[in-house]
Structure 1
Amino acid sequence: MFSMSMDLSGLIPSLLVTLIIVAYGDRHGRKASLFLPSLGGFVTSSFYFSISYFSWPLYIFFFSSVIAGFLGGFATFLGGCFSYAADISHSAKQKTIRIALIDMILGVSSGLAGIVSGYFIEKFGFFWSYGTASALHFVNMMYIIFFLQETVHVSESQANPFSTEGFREVFSGVFLLFRNASIKKRALISLMLFGFMSYLFGQYGSSSLFTLYELDSPLCWDAVLIGWGSALSTFIFVTSFLGLFLFTKWMQDHYIVFIGLLSWTTGMLMAAFAQTTLLMFLVRLPLVLAFMPFPILRSMMSKVVLDTEQGALFACIACLESLTGTVSGVVFSSVYAATVMWLPGFCFLLAAGLVLIPFTLVCIIMYIGYGEEGRHVLLVNEGEPEDADLVS
């Protein structure tokens, strides 16, 4: 409850700042959406460093969480990374691969950090653990300031973000993304966002219960088995990236999404009825391609919008991802508590059933049509009113 309260204290300001800062990058550069969350991480880890050394009271954790939230948090950093990848990509395939690569790096690094951190804390203690984290954040900030190249050219008219026009651009980026779009474009973005959120809801929620399920009877795993299970789950990010890298050579996006959905559904059905250690380990086998839909859906949405709308789009995605991840954890934990006595694997069956939502939505998107040809038509249609005004 303490951890959940601390996360929620930084969530609300983080969502607001993400919508502003990442959309701000479409006109004034991407570095702000990468630097500010890194600064927030540095401040937070420095607070933890001080708390562990000086034995400060626990309420300071909330103070550091709020500060990190107002500096954007992980949602802003995530939106900035995906926007940057979209900026430097010169083709739709390259964009898909780079977005998938970011997903893989995030998944593998977080998994490895979770495995290594316990040994690091045991050997060096919390003091040096948070000191190391602070040093890494500082190095990251220096790299962003002095070595990372900006991808958005800022003209003199856009150089001052504190002007009236600058404030209007910053606060209205996501709103204008939908207001200026054609009906077809709005429908496509909305369908993709809802499909992305529904799949994320089921996957985040059920994945958070794996450890509880493995600790419970009849599996009764110890720390060693749980560690190996987490390592195998981390490896899924690598296999999903390799699968996506191969499939993009021969398949269209929606078929890759279907393969990922099938992979996840099969794994969840196996997990729901896993009664032995061997079968629980084998659950990871059908899940090897389960993370493919996330980068594909991000790439599909990115292909629909203008180059000057990438930040607004990924700001919207990052906010919804943070919100969905938090809500799904609470919902699935409550469902697990209510069903664990009569069917411990019910949450996995629920996650498998929720796949019907993104599957149906992707089928509708296939029928509507999207992609480079569809995107060209959308842009032409959206440019007609402006051309008419110029003629008049």
Structure 2
Amino acid sequence: MEEPDTAAILPEDHSATAREGSEAGGGAPTTGPRCPCSLPVSVEPVLFLSMFSVALQAPLSTQYLWDRISEDLGFNGSRRSECSNSSVPPDPLQKEVETLTAHWNLYISLGFFLVGIMVVPLLGSWSDMAGRRPVLILPNIGLALQAVVYLVVMYLKLPVVYFLVGRLLSGLSGDFNAILAGISGSFRDVGQHHWSYINPFWLVLATNVASALYAFLFVHESVYPDPSAKLLTARHHKAVWHLYSTGGSSGEDGGRLRRCKLWLYTLCFFLVVTVHFGSRDLFVLYELSSPLCWGSALIGYGSAAQHLAYLSSLLGLKVMQRCLKDSWVALVGLASNITGLVVFSVADTTELMFTGYGLCFLFMAATPVLRSKLSKLVGPSEQGALFASVACVESLCFLVGSSIFNSLYPASLHFMKGFPFLFAALVLFIPAGIIGWVCAFILFIVFLILNR
């Protein structure tokens, strides 16, 4: 799952006003009063709590896999004084640990994808008729169950294959992608080994439970629920396909243009998020191994620096939108991401690694813009179907990114350790070119109109 966007990710029907019609889902009219059992409270705390949970457990899971695999293979290289000494030949056990950790990340991602790709479209489109609140509650319950499984694995030191069970449970409930469809560091003590992961995952569990309870008790319903709406029906998948085959509920004249924009912006979104997923999986691996050989404290600082970029991206987004069009904001965000990835590809010192994090201070500005552009292309009654399709794309990005980068990393260790980051930077030139071409085309049309 993607590290969540911090802006422009809420569907249009997040407002208090109930909407009429549900053309994409074919359900009953959605006009009517709100659910009387819920208070008119903002949905942002659900997003924040879920985002905090996802951001907390992602680097810890990779570190735990690294430690468990290192223990099984008898590798303790990251604690050797010569770890950062480039004159010492690389330990073959380290390469094996890196390879196995990358592969287990891939297997867990694959299992999650196969389940999530079927569940998320159902939940997202179903929310257009049945209401948004159930789609806010169910994924948080699934994420809480995942945390329970992870805790059991850590307490009992079960094989890491059981991590896959936790991800499957989360995928069955839609995971964080379903939450997006529905709404429109250093916690470890060095030396305590596996027990050092326990407290953070208890915090993950508590956060998911709190998020589910908040959504159940306080979040108002923005769609008048249709009691007859069915979850297990092919109609929801058809609603998603309807958007991309016809351009949504727009008329004949606008349908073709909207369909073209939907495909182009979805392609850009796919490439950007694939790079985010793929490169994110590698940061902890890259930092744990030589020549950086970071410990838990530095990994925590690196994770904090990476997540501070979400806040700086949000602030930058708000500032840039005052003087720039959305497309130019996306291009600036892509430029920030590209330069940071290039620095990561050659980072062999702690200072250079943090320089890369600093250059990525606007790296998340592109994805909220793309979400917003997609949201504006469809009507209010199709927001759930749209964000279900976006969530499916995210699940596909999760699989493709994990597959490519977790396979490319061990394959490139012998000639350039940071090559996957360089490859990621090159991929981002494609969406930058598409968005730039769209900007140029719009400017050309405006020029023609002004000079008629």
Equivalent in 236, 239, 251 of residue 170 of structure 1 = 236
Distance 1:162 1:63, change over 3 A: same
Equivalent residue, structure 1, for 2:223: 152
Compared CA separation, residues 252 and 146, structure 1 to 2 (3 A): same
Please state if 1:138 is matched with 2:209.
Answer: yes
Deviation (angstroms), 1:334: 2.1
Q: Distance in 1 between matches of 2:408 and 2:395?
A: 20
Offset at residue 174 of structure 1 (A):
0.3
Instruction: Report 1:1-392 matches (<5 A).
Output: 1-2=103-104, 4-49=106-151, 62-81=164-183, 83=184, 114-116=185-187, 132-154=203-225, 158-162=226-230, 167=233, 169-181=235-247, 182-367=255-440, 369=442
Question: Mean Cα displacement is larger for which, 52-61 or 40-49?
Answer: 52-61
State how far apart, in whole Å, the 1-side matches of 2:181 and 2:375 are: 12
Worse overlay, 29-38 or 56-65: 56-65
SS of match in other structure, 1:209: helix
The separation in 1 between residues aligned to 2:280 and 2:155, in whole angstroms, is 34
8 A contact 1:36–1:72 mirrored in 2: yes
1:9-46 Cα shifts (integer Å, max 9, x gaps): 33222221100111111222111211111222233334
Rounded Cα–Cα distance in structure 2 between residues aligned with 1:271 and 1:12: 31
Corresponding pairs, count = 333
Deviations 1:141-192 (A, max 9, x none): 22222211011134xxx431149xx946434220222234211111101100
CA offset at residue 357 of structure 1? Answer: 0.6
Q: CA deviation at 1:356?
A: 1.6
Change (3 A) 1:80 1:340: same
Q: Determine if contact 2:149/2:165 at 8 Å carries over to the other structure.
A: no
Unaligned runs of 5+ in 1: 84-113, 371-392
Q: Deviations over 1:284-324 (max 9, x none)?
A: 22211111001111111111111111111111111211221
Instruction: Tell me by how many angstroms 1:341 deviates.
Output: 2.1
In structure 1, the residue corresponding to 2:434 is in which secondary structure? helix
TM-score (norm 2): 0.66
Is the contact between residue 106 and residue 406 of structure 2 (CA under 8 Å) also seen in structure 1? no
Name the amino acid aligned to 1:160: S
| Contact 1:18–1:319 (Cα < 8 Å) also in 2 | yes
Counterparts of 2:289 and 2:151, CA distance in 1: 34
- Aligned residue identity for 1:19: P
Residues 1:7 and 1:231: Cα distance change in structure 2 (over 3 Å): same
Change (3 A) 1:215 1:127: closer
Cα distance 1:44–1:215, how it changes in 2: closer, same or farther (>3 A)?
Answer: closer
SS in 2 for 1:149: coil
Q: SS at 1:269's partner residue?
A: helix
Aligned-residue sequence identity (percent) comes to 29
Secondary structure of 1:289's partner?
coil
User: Structure 2 regions of 5+ residues with no counterpart?
Assistant: 1-102, 248-254, 444-452
2:29 matched residue in structure 1: none
Return 226-235 or 41-50, whichever deviates more: 41-50
- In the TM superposition, what whole-angstrom CA distance separates every residue of 1:363-385 from its partner, at most 9, and x where no partner exists? 23335659xxxxxxxxxxxxxxx
- Which segment drifts farther, 67-76 or 41-50? 41-50
Could you say what secondary structure the match of 2:186 adopts? helix
Any conservation in 1 of the 2:186–2:297 contact (CA below 8 Å)?
no
Over the aligned positions, Cα root-mean-square deviation in angstroms equals: 3.0
Asked whether the equivalents of residues 15 and 75 of structure 1 are also in contact (C-alpha less than 8 Å), the reply is no
Partners of 1:264 and 1:282 in 2: CA distance: 12
Q: Which residue identity does 1:176 align to in structure 2?
A: H
Tell whether the 8 Å contact from 1:49 to 1:131 is kept in structure 2 after alignment.
Answer: yes
Q: Secondary structure at the match of 1:355?
A: helix
User: Offset of 1:204 from its aligned partner?
Assistant: 2.6
Alpha-carbon offset, residue 200 of structure 1: 1.8
Matched residue SS, 1:159: coil
**Contact map agreement 2:105 2:281 (CA 8 A) in 1:** no
Contact map agreement 1:161 1:167 (CA 8 A) in 2: no
Question: C-alpha offsets along residues 96-134 of structure 1, whole Å, 9 cap, x if unaligned?
Answer: xxxxxxxxxxxxxxxxxx433668x97976666655544
TM, length-normalised to structure 1? 0.75
Q: CA deviation at 1:47?
A: 4.2
